[in-house]
Amino acid sequence: MTIETSDYGSLKGGTKAKLFTLSNSNGLCAKISNYGGIITELHVPDRAGILADIALGKDSLDDYIDGHPYFGCITGRVAGRISGANFKLDGASYSLINNDGPNCLHGGQVGYDKVLWNASVIDCDGIKKLLLSFSDLDGNNGFPGRIDCTVTYALLADNSLEITYNAVTTKSTPFNITNHSYFNLCGAGNGDILGHQIQIFASSVASTDANGTLLGRFDEVVDGYNDFRKPVTLSERELDAGNADIHYCLDAGRSQCIQQAAHVYEPQSGRQMDVYTTQPGVQFYAGLVLDDSGKNGIHYKKNWGFALETQDYADSVNYPQMGGAMLHPGNAFQSKTLYKFSARY
């Protein structure tokens, strides 16, 4: 595995961003910027061995800075929605910015997707990895406590993209970090994802209201609607927020050992993606309101990409019985996610 570094443009004020190209011996390639930890490209082979970039995104750093629907980025301090953009913790009340209807989404106005992470290339047991680090200060976006966080990317010999998260805090705080990549196994920009087969190993979903506000309960999946325990071709379902923009509670739960969360297969190319995680849940999103300019001048439309964001119950601070998306002093956070790619012949 190799990692090459190149310039990726400048932020306002002149600070320069970098782009890191991760490659493995099988020809796979991932390009990742330290701006937002964004996976800008991800090239994987089809059944004929032909590589295609399957990650939706933008053409340049300036395009990302101008705004985007969280293409490929690290999301935090809290990925997902905190209901009412407020919470009480340790006797204090905290008000956040409601940047998604009445709720606070993906950490607020300036989440982890919009910051320049410190970057270094490390060697871990002979494997080159990209290590990103960031200190999220006490009071940022209204949250208590300073969080020192690292995110490590590696492209492994078995064609897995490995993402490892670590964090510590000075005060108890909500914390729910993930990666928000949109995928299309036909290739980014090559039409919709409705021919993809999706399997999610979950028997329940987190219920929400019309605003996407979490209600503090899990409901059993419904056959023919949001039950993906067996592979389902997306075109066979009428996709809406109740089955294609919702948090699935994985049957495996939280584990120190990595467990399979989902399987995706695209018959035309033969590409497959298996998602493994130590996290207890995964947010499945099928690009229901996707309408944005993308790479190579292509305009992405509804259902042109999907995301499988491994995480905990986002609103755990308001519903502690539902999940553990909290970080406390003295308790280090650790999690790992693998996106493993192969082809069916």
- Residue pLDDT, tens place only, 322-336: 999 999 999 999 999
CA distance 144 to 156: 36
Beta bridge partners of 247: 283
Q: What proportion of the chain, given as a percentage, has pLDDT over 90?
A: 94
pLDDT of amino acid 295: 96
As a whole number of Å, the CA-based R_g of the chain is 19
Confidence of residue 185 (pLDDT cuts 50, 70, 90): very high
Q: Which residues contact 183 (CB under 8 A, 6 or more apart)?
A: 42, 54, 55, 56, 264, 273, 305, 306, 307, 308
CA distance 302 to 191: 10
Cα–Cα distances in angstroms (integers) from residue 106 to residues 177, 279, 295, 307, in the given order: 9, 17, 23, 14
Confidence of residue 13 (pLDDT cuts 50, 70, 90): confident
Confidence of residue 210 (pLDDT cuts 50, 70, 90): confident
- Please provide the average confidence, as pLDDT, over all residues in the chain: 96
pLDDT tens for 227-282 read 999 999 999 999 999 999 999 999 988 877 899 999 999 999 999 999 999 999 99
Residue 202 has pLDDT above 90, yes or no: yes
Confidence of residue 10 (pLDDT cuts 50, 70, 90): very high
CATH number at residue 299: 2.70.98.10
Catalytic residue numbers?
180, 309
Residue 162 has pLDDT above 90, yes or no: yes
Phi then psi dihedrals of residue 3, to 5 deg? -135, 125
- Residue 309 amino acid letter: E
Number of domain units in the chain: 1
CA distance 141 to 146: 12
pLDDT of amino acid 216: 93
CA distance 284 to 42: 19
Name the pTM for this structure.
0.96
pLDDT of amino acid 1: 85
pLDDT of amino acid 256: 78
Q: How much is the average pLDDT of 90-105?
A: 94
Three state DSSP letters for the chain: CEEEEEEEEECCCCCEEEEEEEECCCCCEEEEECECCCEEEEEEECCCCCEEECECCCCCHHHHHHCCCCCCCEECCECCEEHHHEEEECCEEEECCCCECCEEECCCCCCHHHCECEEEEEEECCEEEEEEEEEECCCHHHCCCCEEEEEEEEECCCCEEEEEEEEEECCCEECECEECCCECCCCCCCCCCCCCEEEECEEEEEEECCCCCEEEEEEECCCCCCCCCCCEEHHHCCCCHHHHEEEEEECCCCCCCCEEEEEEECCCCCEEEEEEECCCEEEEECCCCCCEECHHHCEECCCCCEEEEEECCCCCCCCCCCCCCEECCCCCEEEEEEEEEEECC
Q: How much is the average pLDDT of 56-80?
A: 97
Q: What's the domain range around 243?
A: 2-343
CA distance 335 to 324: 13
Confidence of residue 66 (pLDDT cuts 50, 70, 90): very high
